[in-house]
Structure 1
Amino acid sequence: MDTEVDPALTRLKGVGAQLAEKLERLHLRQIPDLLFHLPLRYEDRTRIHPLGQLRLGQHALIRGRVVNTSVQYGRRRSLLVRVRDDSGEVGLRFYYFSAAQQRQLQPGTAIQAFGEARRGATGLEFYHPEYSAADDDGALPAPSGTLTPVYPTTEGLTQKRLRQLMEQALAWMRTSDELPDLLPASLREQWQLPALPTALDFIHNPPPATDLETLISGDHPCVARLAVEELLAQHLGLRQLRHQARAEAAPPLHSQGGTLQQQLRASLPFALTAAQDRVLEEIEADLARPVPMLRLVQGDVGAGKTLVAVLAMLRAVDAGWQSVFMAPTEILAEQHARNLTAWLQSLGIEVVLLLGRQTRRQRTEALARIAAGAACVVGTHALFQEEVRYQRLGLVVVDEQHRFGVDQRLLLREKGRQQGLVPHQLIMTATPIPRTLAMSMYADLDFSVIDELPPGRTPVVTTVMNDAQRERVIQRVRDACTDRRQVYWVCTLIEDSDELQAQAAEELYTQLTEALQPFRVALVHGRMKNSEKSAVMSAFKAGETQVLVATTVIEVGVDVPNASVMIIENAERLGLSQLHQLRGRVGRGAADSYCVLLYRPPLSQGGKARLNTMRSTSDGFQIAEQDLLLRGPGEVLGTRQTGEAGFRIANLQRDQHWLPAVKQLSETLEREYPDMATALLARWHPEGLNYGKV
């Protein structure tokens, strides 16, 4: 089968440059794009409603004769057309009208109209309804035989025009072989999915008896048919990325007796958990192969992912290769650099830190050490900028994958390409991901889970408190400080503005500084210079300050074992994953630890459900499943990773039960119907997966 070539919309009658530009605003470029542009809702124009039986708010098709036409003068000039049938009378009101329209709608004229019955100055009125006046023979259009679709549209593009174009597109589909069904009949039958033309015909022209609730919600088999095809194309694209990566060569990192690993493990005051050992074995098996490792390591907050990553990096160093550790924020990168230095300095291993805002001298020195072959490099996205040169990059570790996106880690892989070899990649996330989502969104990666916490982790007691109880919360903070414990107080705002967040944090800092004397309060937020943030975090970690007022810059990875209380302002506004990450900053030492979720009433149903979930469980996987139900996959995976905006029809939250089938279908298509797999990708991703490019 040849890869499908989508015909341009300009092939349709009436689509010139001006209309094509409007359609482009809706991302409609080809006829199949139009066919996959699904209705938002449907209107019932299949029967005439008697005027005397109309109800307020009802959308209805009506028919009658004009009994009076007049121009009304009030706050706005309008044309009022009174229409009567045997059962009653109703008004049609137009605020925008022409003299020709006024002449057309004279008393005695038969008229048919569709609109919403609303309360008006003369009783029930239809405002700017779609209407047809009788032709010269006195005839009116027959009611529709199917429900009428209402589409997402844009300025200057009417529903009537869209429906006309859709009728042409459907006629093209029925008579053309340019939109083939790309699911084999045997697989459609196995999964009880209709053929593509059947599904599209039904969705755009559903019969009157259709269960509209299932059609609009996406639970109807015809919508599922399209969603499955789109999910399948996305899954095939990720598998293609995986195949492309597997076709590359990577340096096999053979253990030289594991000397460095053994030395580090011997120096630790604790043993690795069984889960850490198991995942490390999986990683080492990958590193020994001459193909690039692509492995996602998932583990709850505090499960010990960083130590596993460092042991993997030692495997690379032991084999004579460099390794890189990429973190999403400069604060976290600096912390990782400190931890790695503390672990590796006694082993004689050099750790270099590279950040975007270092001084020119620091940056020049770091770049020179990296080019000279520094064994371990830690940094942010600065690691794959043009001037960075690696000598022998064998392993890339990416922390909190969802904060970067696939394209950025692929860029780092390209930075390490040398003599036909690319580095191995280890991806880590502390955001637990439901297995169904992992199968779909990380199909280009192998998957490991550290599902055990190290012994000695203190359970965090979570309480939910009304903001009116703030004085009690401040007293709890004072008590913790008196007991020589430290406290995080996180200030959040729903507005995505560093400036507003910083302003709110500064106000809170001022209040707490006064309320908590003589204890020392510090402030850190996103608008501070990196050197200032580092100084504040270092002082807090050293115990020089007791309370840290912060925005969510401390969400990921900050490790202060003496901090035992976490206060989160406006907790109802945050997603479960973010709340869970913040709570994970405490409970890292031996002291009893607490998380207080402060909220401002009234609570929405979703807010109440999130806070109750946080209070009832500390299991990251349960929280992730609940997050998926409450807020959808973007919150669980991070919007930059999901490509969620790229889905035209599929909805990961609604369609997750299809993902196991999609995985099986993709394997079958690749193996038995490779031409169909290629054509599917061309249909849904003609320019490639938007987050898979390098």
Structure 2
Amino acid sequence: MPPVTLSSTLEEVVGAKTAATLRRAFGMTTVGELLAHYPRRYARRGELTPIASLPVGEQVTIVAEVRSVSVRPMRGRPGTLLEVVISDGAGTVNLTFFNQQWRQADLRVGRQGIFSGKVGEFKQQKQFAHPDYELFDDEGEARQSAEARQRQPIPIYPATSTVSSWQLHKTIVAVLSRVTEIPDPLPEALRRAVGLLPALTAVRHLHTPDDIEQIDPARHTLRMHEAFVLQAALLQQRQEVRALAATARPAGELLERFDASLPFARTPDQVTVGDRIEADLQADWPMNRLVQGEVGSGKTLVALRAMLQVAQSGGQSALIAPTEVLAAQHLRSIARMLGPRLAPELMPTLLTGQLPAAERRKAALRVASGQARIVVGTHALLSSTTTFADLGLVVVDEQHRFGVEQRETLRAKGNAPHVLVLTATPIPRTVAMTVFGDLDVSTIRTLPAGRAGIETFVAPLAEKPGWFARVWERITEEVALGRQAFVVCAAIDAAAKEPDPDAPSAPAVEGETERTRWGVVQVAEMLARDESYRDVRVEVLHGKMPADQKDAVMQAFARGEIDVLVATTVVEVGVDVPNASTMVILEADRFGVSQLHQLRGRVGRGGLPGLCLLVTEAAVGTMARSRVQAVARTSDGFELAEVDLELRGEGDVLGDAQSGARSSLRLLRVVADADLIARARAAAERVLAEDPTLASHPGLADAIDRRVGQQERAALAKN
């Protein structure tokens, strides 16, 4: 029989039928993928408890004999119920299985075995629902096995309706018995220095522990493996990007003229980040940089300076934004910053899908001919009909709203163009290392001088329902002072439960109100009936409005022709109205921490003090209420990013923003394992510095190939 390795196919090891089932259920095709399907938790087999004294609600193990088996139709719904009565000689307990008639072949009267499960109770009779069991031919063997395995934890795996945790475990045990070697991805010196187990031992102890004490060392070893392999893959990708030849874009008089025309001094962070980008653009390899900064910290200014540097040599820059509203606003902001002298020279051009056909053709022609050296658009930039004369810089705004395929499509329209990714959602250090480890990360922390700041308060309607009326009074007080206000809703129409296609979806979490009560439609109707709003100019904005109408509303609001804008989270990014002083977020518990912080950043942008009221019915002590209170407690977006990560866990933070190797962490947890990730990155940097091709580290090279296959590697390369 040939040796089984991590690269062996499941079909050759477990047979075609089981392999097909595992492929359909989990997408796994190799032994390595099966063994990397780690237990989610472990159950205790419990004491060998006599049936007469089984404790309800606890996990127990008993040795018993099948006394009777019956099948009957379920009442009130289709399907069958298999009922098995087992006895230990002194008492009896029922086993119930729904729609699993096939178990009759195993559970025949007289068969004995070990049964593990959680004790339930139905009609005063103790029962196990869908217990795990193992049957034996000999009672003495069953009792001896039960006593030996009493301390042995039961691995519980992520399972599906077609493959149970029990079946997975049996398959993994069978496969592991044939695996004699697992190459260690860690250099031996590093493994010994940090006191980790050999790879095969760690995998065996995680899947088939003899006792609970074996699990933590195994898990720690495999977490280090995951961190090390992931960081090495990201660093390899950085090496590959730097091996590409890019067109150097030296700075020149365009940038000098622009800087001289600025009516303000750049902040220290803007200068530092700008200098790094200026140097990147003159390098022989493509820039691949992420710039993160608070709302209003000047990321657009930094990006525009990069565009001017590229334009100096005749190159073009493309800025892709997630919405029509934001793209149009970016164009107006860029034209305003360039001023009447530079704007005609660079011909900033808008290209979106909603442009009238004639305008779109003209815009596409300016882009294709190279006349437009700055192009701003939405997904229309990705169209096969959109071509560039010399695309030298790709700027991606709000990167989490775009997939890697879309970014690659745009980047492929140039010859190894430089890439600048912008985000106003602060990224915790560990997430930056884990998700964006192949990008150089720059941070703009300081805000421009003259900002009056924002005060944030929670309006807790669960305890103080009278505050709801006060919220609306507070808006009229601001309007009376000549200021403007946003009212943000979680839906367009609460009655229709209509999502906004332009808005990020709100998270469903423990503690949030059961259903949306206040949509844009409901708030607009309420204010139309309110006598105190008779002279207040109220308009609505949401993603289902035509693009020209959305843009018209935003421009009217910016000109001060609208007092109160009732909107969905379509206003989350890019909306800049210095006269807007107040933001009310209804049902704030329906939004994430970062989203609330982004929304809040729409006010207090000029010299006016900002006021943000977070209206919520979430009860004290729930996670939803904790999020809202965290936002009210601090205006530091970087502190909130850490809070958000702790509250939600990295599953939501990582989400599907990235593809392949970075989208699903197996054992690694970016909060709990921050120090381990940092150590792994430092170790991976040392290994790659000494051995760039990993010729002397075959275990690591194999692990990267398995963990980051062709599809994932392509996704990494596109990022």
Above 0.5 in TM-score?
yes
Give distance in 2, aligned partners of 1:85 and 1:62: 12
Of the three residues 164, 188, 191, the one matched with 2:191 is: 188
Contact 2:393 2:420 in 1 (8 A): yes
Structure 2 residue aligned with 1:683:
706
Tell me which moved more, 453-462 or 441-450: 441-450
Give distance in 1, aligned partners of 2:375 and 2:70: 79
Shift of 1:662: 1.8
Distance 1:360 1:89, change over 3 A: same
Of the three residues 150, 158, 171, the one matched with 1:152 is: 158
Of the three residues 487, 512, 517, the one matched with 2:527 is: 512
* 1:428 alignment partner, SS class: strand
Q: How does 1:200-211 map to 2 (within 5 A)?
A: 200-210=203-213
Give distance in 2, aligned partners of 1:414 and 1:653: 35
* 1:361 alignment partner, SS class: helix
* 2:191 alignment partner, SS class: helix
Give distance in 2, aligned partners of 1:377 and 1:102: 69
Distance 1:411 1:242, change over 3 A: farther
* 2:578 alignment partner, SS class: coil
Structure 1 position 622 matched with structure 2 position 646: no
* 2:459 alignment partner, SS class: strand
Structure 1 position 664 matched with structure 2 position 668: no
Q: How does 1:253-268 map to 2 (within 5 A)?
A: 253-256=249-252, 259-268=253-262
Structure 1 residue aligned with 2:43:
43
Distance 1:558 1:54, change over 3 A: same
Contact 2:316 2:373 in 1 (8 A): yes
Shift of 1:65: 5.1
Q: How does 1:412-451 map to 2 (within 5 A)?
A: 412-417=410-415, 422-451=416-445
Code of the residue aligned with 1:686 in structure 2: it is G
* 1:654 alignment partner, SS class: coil
* 1:383 alignment partner, SS class: helix
* 1:448 alignment partner, SS class: strand
Shift of 1:195: 1.4
Contact 2:185 2:701 in 1 (8 A): no
Structure 2 residue aligned with 1:692:
716
Structure 1 position 225 matched with structure 2 position 225: no
Structure 1 residue aligned with 2:246:
250
Structure 2 residue aligned with 1:7:
8
Shift of 1:315: 1.7
Of the three residues 564, 573, 580, the one matched with 2:590 is: 573
Give distance in 2, aligned partners of 1:94 and 1:454: 65
Contact 1:431 1:636 in 2 (8 A): no
Of the three residues 519, 527, 531, the one matched with 2:548 is: 531
Contact 2:292 2:444 in 1 (8 A): yes
Tell me which moved more, 94-103 or 540-549: 94-103
Code of the residue aligned with 2:541 in structure 1: it is V
Shift of 1:285: 1.3
Structure 1 residue aligned with 2:506:
none
Contact 2:6 2:30 in 1 (8 A): no
The RMSD of aligned alpha carbons is 2.9
Code of the residue aligned with 2:40 in structure 1: it is L
Shift of 1:609: 2.1
Code of the residue aligned with 1:691 in structure 2: it is A
Distance 1:34 1:399, change over 3 A: same
Give distance in 2, aligned partners of 1:457 and 1:434: 25
Contact 2:69 2:104 in 1 (8 A): no
Contact 1:634 1:642 in 2 (8 A): no
Give distance in 1, aligned partners of 2:255 and 2:283: 19
Q: TM-score by structure 1 length?
A: 0.89
Q: How does 1:72-221 map to 2 (within 5 A)?
A: 75=75, 79-81=83-85, 83-85=87-89, 88-93=91-96, 104-105=108-109, 111-121=113-123, 123-131=125-133, 135=137, 139-140=141-142, 142-143=145-146, 144-145=148-149, 146-173=152-179, 175=180, 177=181, 179-210=182-213, 215=215, 220-221=216-217
Of the three residues 648, 673, 678, the one matched with 1:631 is: 648
Distance 1:101 1:550, change over 3 A: same
Structure 2 residue aligned with 1:55:
55
Q: Deviations over 1:29-74 (max 9, x none)?
A: 1111111111233333485222233210122221245677788999
* 1:456 alignment partner, SS class: coil
Structure 2 residue aligned with 1:371:
368
Structure 1 position 346 matched with structure 2 position 341: yes
Q: How does 1:527-606 map to 2 (within 5 A)?
A: 527-603=544-620, 605-606=622-623
**Identical columns (%):** 37
Q: Deviations over 1:300-356 (max 9, x none)?
A: 111111112112211222232222222222111100101111222322331111112
Tell me which moved more, 559-568 or 632-641: 632-641
Contact 2:66 2:84 in 1 (8 A): no
Give distance in 2, aligned partners of 1:268 and 1:110: 85
Q: Deviations over 1:112-167 (max 9, x none)?
A: 42222211335322334444566378753622533222222223334443232111
Code of the residue aligned with 1:184 in structure 2: it is P
Contact 2:19 2:29 in 1 (8 A): no
Code of the residue aligned with 2:341 in structure 1: it is S
Give distance in 2, aligned partners of 1:262 and 1:243: 33
Shift of 1:209: 4.4
Shift of 1:409: 2.8
Shift of 1:413: 2.1
Contact 2:618 2:625 in 1 (8 A): no
Distance 1:635 1:329, change over 3 A: farther
Distance 1:50 1:501, change over 3 A: closer
Contact 2:351 2:360 in 1 (8 A): yes
Give distance in 1, aligned partners of 2:27 and 2:71: 41
Distance 1:408 1:137, change over 3 A: closer
Give distance in 2, aligned partners of 1:12 and 1:310: 57
* 2:60 alignment partner, SS class: strand
Give distance in 2, aligned partners of 1:72 and 1:648: 41
Shift of 1:187: 0.9
Code of the residue aligned with 1:471 in structure 2: it is A
Contact 2:315 2:390 in 1 (8 A): yes
Shift of 1:530: 0.8
Give distance in 1, aligned partners of 2:351 and 2:71: 73
Q: Deviations over 1:90-120 (max 9, x none)?
A: 44456655896699325xx755422222113
Contact 2:317 2:393 in 1 (8 A): yes
* 1:297 alignment partner, SS class: strand
Of the three residues 385, 388, 392, the one matched with 1:387 is: 385
Gapped runs of 5+ residues in structure 1? none
Distance 1:545 1:185, change over 3 A: same
Structure 1 position 522 matched with structure 2 position 539: yes
Contact 2:348 2:374 in 1 (8 A): yes
Code of the residue aligned with 1:28 in structure 2: it is M
Structure 2 residue aligned with 1:647:
665
Shift of 1:454: 0.7
Gapped runs of 5+ residues in structure 2? 502-514
Shift of 1:389: 1.5
Contact 2:518 2:586 in 1 (8 A): no
Shift of 1:582: 0.5
Code of the residue aligned with 1:488 in structure 2: it is F
Shift of 1:571: 0.8
Shift of 1:646: 2.8
Code of the residue aligned with 2:11 in structure 1: it is T
Contact 1:72 1:80 in 2 (8 A): no
Q: Deviations over 1:610-663 (max 9, x none)?
A: 222212211111111111111133555664137664333333233233211121
Code of the residue aligned with 1:390 in structure 2: it is F
Tell me which moved more, 432-441 or 406-415: 406-415
Structure 1 residue aligned with 2:512:
none
Q: TM-score by structure 2 length?
A: 0.86
Code of the residue aligned with 2:428 in structure 1: it is P
Structure 2 residue aligned with 1:322:
316
